[in-house]
Amino acid sequence: MQVGSLIAAGYDCEIFDAGPGRVVRRSRDGRSLEREAAVMRHARRHGFPAPEVYDADGGDILMEHVDGPSLLEETARDPGRAAEHGALLAGLLRQLSAVRAPGWLRAASGRPGNRLLHLDLHPGNVLVTADGPRVVDWANAARGAPGVDAACTWLILATAPVATPELAGARAGLLAAFLDGVDPDAARPHLGSEAARRLTERDLPAGEQDAIARFLADAGAP
């Protein structure tokens, strides 16, 4: 696909301008993104706020240009809204838990369940638009029990490094509101496996690895 200027770069993909209202999401290593595109189409068909997908070809997805700051940026700008933003994250996971996963989607960590899971739904992957939130970056999507998704978000909110003092101060309120909106008892059994997946899939700094170990001990995770 023909692309214009680079707009953004993430852990494993880059986003390029592709004309009015459109962008191309391109994998850095050339891996196919067609499964990710199919997941976004499935989520959107079932009423979940994923970006619209126009085409997918190998390592490229032609998709809607979602215009707006991330929930992380909004929390840094206005830490007083941390509880509101935590509740929004919980609401998005509850909404997603109502979507049945397609049968061809991989199972999450061998856990039984037939719900669509995002498995990276954190404030940086929620964009705030004039039409409401949009959830991006579906690379980890799987099928399984909703508690797995809640465990993933819980782990990230509790242990991921923060870039500013404002975000550090907002963490507790964000996390508390999130946990009020989900079922922590359903999520807790999956914290250990989600931590192991995160440590395996990403080259995390030593500080974050230590934070995960302390969190698991404090949470009484299996």
Q: How many CB atoms lie within 10 A of CB 20?
A: 6
- Identify the residue whose tokens are 């061998």: 110
Query: What pLDDT digit, counting tens, does each position of 100-112 carry?
Result: 999 999 998 767 8
* pTM to 2 decimal places: 0.93
Euclidean distance between CA atoms 53 and 55, whole angstroms: 6
Q: Are 7 and 23 in contact (CB under 8 A)?
A: yes
Structure confidence at residue 206 (pLDDT): 85
Structure confidence at residue 162 (pLDDT): 86
Euclidean distance between CA atoms 89 and 83, whole angstroms: 10
Query: What pLDDT digit, counting tens, does each position of 129-156 carry?
Result: 999 999 999 999 999 999 999 999 999 9
Using left for φ > 0, alpha for ψ between -120 and 50, and beta otherwise, residue 21 falls in left
Task: Please report which helix (H) or strand (E) contains residue 129, including its range.
Answer: strand 126-129
Q: Are 30 and 43 in contact (CB under 8 A)?
A: no
Euclidean distance between CA atoms 144 and 113, whole angstroms: 4
Taken in order of first residue, the domains within the chain and their CATH numbers are 6-64 (3.30.200.20), 71-219 (3.90.1200.10)
Structure confidence at residue 205 (pLDDT): 82
Structure confidence at residue 134 (pLDDT): 97
Q: Are 155 and 188 in contact (CB under 8 A)?
A: no
- In the chain (222 residues long), the average pLDDT of successive 10-residue segments reads 85 90 93 96 98 96 94 95 97 98 88 92 96 95 96 95 88 96 95 91 84 87 64
Structure confidence at residue 222 (pLDDT): 64
Radius of gyration of the chain (CA): 17
Residue 73's contacts (CB-CB under 8 Å, 6 or more residues apart) are none
Return phi, psi of residue 113, to 5°: 145, 155
DSSP 8-class letter at 189: G
Measured torsion, CA atoms of residues 116, 33, 155, 159, in degrees rounded to the nearest 10: -160
